[in-house]
Chains A and B, each alone.
Chain A
Amino acid sequence: MQPPAVHHGAMFDTDELVINMGPQHPSTHGVLRVVLRLDGEKVVNADVVIGYLHRGIEKLSENRNWTQIILLTDRMDYVAAATSNVGYCETVEKLLSLEVPRRARYVRTILCELQRIASHCLWIGTHAMDIGAMTVFLYAFRERELILDLFEEYCGARLTYNSMRIGGLPLEIPPGWDKKVLEFCKIMDSKIDEYETLLTHNRIWLERTKGVGVIGGPEAVALGMCGPALRGSGVPRDVRKDEPYAAYDEMEFDVPIGTAGDTYDRYLVRIEEFRQSLRIIRQATQGIPEGPIVGKVPRLIKPPAGETYHAIESPKGELGYFIVSDGKSTNPYRFRVRPPSFCNLQALPRLVRGHLVADVVALIGSIDIVLGEVDR
Chain B
Amino acid sequence: MVDTFVIPLLKIVIVLNATLVGVTYMVLLERKVIAWAQSRLGPMRVGPYGILQPVADAVKLMIKEDITPVRADKWLFTAAPIISMVPALIVYAVIPFGSEVSLFGRQVTLYITDINVGLLYVVSVASVGVYGIILAGYASNSKYPLLASLRASAQLISYEVAVTLTLVSVVVMAGSLSMVQIVNAQYNSHVWFVFAQPVAFVLVLIGGLAETNRAPFDLPEAEQELTGGFHTEYSGMRFALFFLAEYANMIVVSSVVTTLFLGGWLPPFPNVAAFGFLYYVPSWAWFLLKSFVFLYLFIWIRATLPRYRYDQLMNLGWKVLIPIAIANLVVTGIVRVLLL
Contacts and interface: CB of A to CB of B under 8 A. Distances in A.
B38 interface: yes
A135 interface: yes
B305 A132 contact: yes
B227 A132 contact: no
B223 A26 contact: yes
Contacts of A159: none
B312 A207 contact: yes
Interface string B138-171: 0000011001001100000000000000000000
B224 A26 contact: yes
Interface in A225-283: none
A90 interface: no
B38 A135 contact: yes
A358 B306 contact: no
Given A132-B218, A135-B37, A204 B143 contact: no
Contact of A132 (B40, B150, B215): B215
A25 B312 CA distance: 24
A357 B147 contact: yes
B318 interface: no
A41 B148 CA distance: 10
Interface string B212-233: 0001101100111111000000
Interface in B200-244: 215-216, 218-219, 222-227
Contacts of A132: 215-216, 218, 222, 224, 305-307
A40 B337 CA distance: 47
B37 A358 contact: no
Contacts of B305: 132-133, 202, 204
* A interface: dominant SS: helix
Interface stretch (A58-66, A72-80, A110-118, A123-131): A123-131
B230 to A, nearest CB: 14
A199 B143 CA distance: 31
Contacts of B37: 135
Given A142-B39, A207-B309, A357-B147, A135 B224 contact: no
Contacts of B40: 138
Nearest to B309: A358
B149 to A, nearest CB: 12
A134 interface: yes
B303 A135 contact: yes
Nearest to B302: A134
Contacts of B310: 41, 356, 358
B311 interface: yes
A27 interface: yes
A-B pairs with lowest CB-CB distance, top 9? A132-B307, A138-B38, A133-B306, A132-B306, A27-B224, A131-B306, A358-B309, A130-B224, A204-B306
Given A19-B143, A132-B222, A138-B40, 16 more contacts: A26-B227, A40-B150, A128-B306, A129-B224, A132-B306, A134-B34, A134-B38, A135-B37, A139-B38, A199-B306, A202-B306, A204-B306, A207-B312, A356-B309, A358-B225, A360-B225
Interface of B: 34, 37-40, 143-144, 147, 150-151, 215-216, 218-219, 222-227, 302-312
12 contacts: A27-B225, A41-B147, A133-B307, A135-B37, A137-B38, A139-B38, A142-B39, A198-B304, A207-B309, A208-B308, A356-B309, A357-B226
Interface of A: 17, 19-20, 25-27, 38, 40-41, 128-135, 137-139, 142, 198-199, 202, 204-205, 207-208, 356-361
